[in-house]
Amino acid sequence: MTNIENWTREQWEMSKLDFPESIYYLYTPMCGTCAVASKMMEVIAAMKPNLPIGKADLNYVEDLAVDYEIESVPCLLIQKSGEVVHKIYAFQSIPHLLEKIG
């Protein structure tokens, strides 16, 4: 299974400039729902090997939580052409996530 890279906020911001699409998965280690979402993200990463995907423990990127108005975890930020087009909190299913990612 693919391992998703840990990104700093700076790496996320650079991905918005460097790639037409990228996603940033935000979680916290003590969140049970995040554990399920993390497994789903591993499947997404395996299915979309050319899509830049980063992850971060939200405890270490608190300024990002404020700036992007993150309401809870897990949270998936999907950017296209430098703009966040989706902020997903309900990781309903892998097909749902794939549809949102495009």
Tens-of-pLDDT digits for all 102 residues of the chain?
457 999 999 999 999 999 999 999 999 999 999 999 999 999 999 999 999 999 999 999 999 999 999 999 999 999 999 999 999 999 999 999 999 998
Spatial separation of the C-alpha atoms in residues 8 and 17, rounded to whole Å:
15
Show the domains of the chain with their CATH numbers.
1-67 (3.40.30.10)
